[in-house]
A and B are shown apart, each in its own frame.
Chain A
Amino acid sequence: MKRNWIGGTFGWLWLLVVLLPIYFVGITAFKSISTYFGSNPVLPSLPVAVENFTAVLEADFGMYLLNSVLVALGTVVPLVLMAFMASYAIVRGARRVFAPVRSIFLLGLAIPVQATIVPIYLLIIQMRMYDSLAALMLPGIAFGLPLSILIIANSLRDVPNELFEAMSIDGCTEWQKMWRLALPMTQPALVTVAVYQALMSWNGFLFPLILTQSPDKRTLPLALWSFQGEYATNVPVVMAAVVLSSIPILVLYAFGRRYLVSGMTAGAGK
């Protein structure tokens, strides 16, 4: 068979395009400020400088990291729980009530989140939650529900009806069926939702921007942004901050690639 030259050329060229900026961040983070100004920008230079990372850690990076972790956990755990329970009701419940419920959640897929920031800001102020980490979790949960329910309900629908009937005959309640049968059977979907929503929360920028103002409430993307303002002339320090803020996500990708990919394509893959 003849080789696919066009595809191949594009494929490898794109790899270069993808990797070059990442490579640049990686090598620049390990340059001291003087080598940054003196050396070739696209070549690594020795000796390796770790001072940038120390500087980032001293600039309260640990606090921003903790904030991001707290917001991600506070969003993902209730989100997965609620989405799972709602999916159970939608798949197992009476159609005449839960088909409309399903439609309401599907409608949510079409809401552009950006368009709701003014009312959400008003709502959070009224609830006296402005400038708190909890304020970031609430809209995160709400806007994560539609896709999460879509993924979990699809997986739950594949569980054979006979298994549920067998449990009914054994006298199990709906509550027991949900936790003992539905939960283990939909585990991959639950992990997919959790991993994907954790990524969304981790990289979220808009809600932290409009719902917080104190430096001690900043999550990582917002902290990166203000870092860039403070250290405008010290690019290596900023690049070190980019590296440190991305490491947790790279770890997540290394262990849960399959789940991340299916989470990403779930909304589109049909």
Chain B
Amino acid sequence: MTTASPASAPARAQRPGRRPAGAPEPVQLSHLLFAAPALLFFTVFALLPLIGVVVLSFTTWNGIGTIEFTGLTSWKEALTRSSTWHGLWLVMLMIAATWLLQTPLSILLGTFLAGAQRYRNVLAILYFLPLLLSSAAIAITFKSLLDPNFGLASGLNIAWLAQNWLGDARLVWVVLLFIIAWQFIPFHTLIYQGAVRQIPASMYEAAQIDGASRARRFLSITLPQLKFTMITSSTLMVVGALTYFDIIFVLTQGGPGVATRILPLDMYLTGFRGNEMGVASCLAVMLVVIGLGLALGVQSLGGKDASASQMEGA
């Protein structure tokens, strides 16, 4: 950029402003002023808190009094608590189970919705509905729906549906995974629908002439073509699962006992209920690090090209 060869000079002279070749593009004051408000807001309320959480992890603070720098005290506390490791284990479980449940279903539904039939567009409109509702509304709805006496179980008269869904440490996970799938599969379905529609029809036509079955075409054309979409969807899914908060907060508050006290919830409860902001900050730093690690890990599964093409359009 700075060492332009003479050969490129004519091309450069064509540009507005007619700068001499090799001179750096002038920075206009107006552009700096345009970007300033957004940069200021972003720095103060996003970047500063991100740095702040690291700083606060080396302090002890009860949320009201003075903040004291206490070195590694909060870290030692956070890392020796069984609740931290429990929360970490649960969040890993959440990530794995969410992915295993949602990815195959989203791909199947997305491929189905990508069909040209008009009724599938109507289905797509209806599928979207859960994305519009707040997590609080969804949690409250399912709570009533799962009531053994006045919910689905008695309405449909199916005995096995009448269980203590939210009071059993195992069943509550079935419920949680189902509700989260209900809430987020529509989103991933939408992504896959768009991606399947971009696969050239000629590939399918060629396969059909060769006599490939529908299953065969799905496995040999659709799935490989969805590789990059799978990486994007999985990144969002995995990082999203790391930070589920409101749905669990409203539905179970981490219970029964600590059965659903996943790390983000543990962080909130430690900080804002237990008044240990220092320890909560340590947990938050762990969340950031795990999130970045997972995102980079999933991205690297697709090779370098994937992340390069991801950033290209931005």
Which A positions have Cβ atoms within 8 angstroms of B? 2, 4, 6-8, 10-11, 14-15, 17-22, 24-25, 28, 36-37, 40-43, 81-83, 85-86, 88-90, 92-98, 101-102, 104-106, 108, 110-123, 138-139, 141-143, 145-146, 149-150, 153-154, 165, 168, 173-175, 178, 199, 202-203, 205-206, 209-210, 220-222, 224-225, 228, 235, 238-239, 242, 245-246, 249-250, 253, 257, 260-261, 264-265, 267-270
Contacts and interface: CB of A to CB of B under 8 A. Distances in A.
- Quick one: which of B16, B39, B133, B143 has the most chain A CB within 10 A? B133
A35 to B, nearest CB: 11
Interface in B185-230: 185-187, 190-191, 194, 214
B311 interface: yes
B182 A142 contact: no
Given A18-B182, A102-B314, A142-B44, A82 B150 contact: no
| Chain A at the B interface: SS class | helix
Given A119-B52, A205-B136, A224-B137, A11 B123 contact: yes
Contacts of B120: 11
Contact of A239 (B24, B144, B156, B186): B144
A122 B51 CA distance: 13
Interface string B290-314: 0110010000000000000111111
Contact of A14 (B45, B127, B154, B233): B127
A89 B37 CA distance: 12
Most chain B CB atoms below 10 A, which of A19, A112, A269: A112
B89 interface: no
Looking at chain B, what size class is its interface with the partner chain?
A: 35 or more
A199 B134 CA distance: 9
16 contacts: A18-B126, A21-B138, A101-B35, A104-B39, A104-B47, A112-B239, A115-B267, A116-B53, A117-B267, A145-B41, A206-B246, A224-B140, A225-B250, A260-B128, A261-B190, A264-B190
